[in-house]
Amino acid sequence: MPDSDEACAYCGLTYESMRTGLSYSEVYMMLWSFDEDSSTWRYKRRHTVLGLWRSVKIDLWHHHLKSCTYEYEQAQEVAQLEAETAIDHIPW
């Protein structure tokens, strides 16, 4: 579980400042079951909606950390390859 002041090591985005891009009503609709079988229905009280929203934000945070780390590592590899290639093209 991330701390509210946890920050991405590469871009500096904090968990607290990150937004899911969802509204309360959108998260509410994620709980909606269009099945006529009442056993598939979920409670849609405020606490349930906020709990799901928090879960979505945590998942997005972990995804952000992985993708940001991957992009940073890719950039490092490209820089390394460019440096090696530049050495190969030095006219002697």
The rounded distance, in Å, linking the Cα atoms of 16 and 31 is 24
* Domain residue ranges of the chain, discontinuous segments joined by +: 24-88
Beta-strand runs (E) in the chain:
none
CA–CA separation, 30 vs 58, rounded Å?
16
Query: Does residue 87 carry a pLDDT above 70?
Result: no
- pTM of the model as a whole: 0.76
Query: Phi and psi at residue 36, in whole multiples of 5°?
Result: -75, -15
Mean pLDDT across 68-79: 86
Q: Residue 72 — pLDDT band, cuts 50, 70, 90? A: confident
User: Which has more pLDDT, 40 or 67?
Assistant: 67
- Which residues have C-beta within 8 Å of that of residue 15, sequence separation ≥ 6? 2, 3, 4, 5, 6, 7, 57, 61
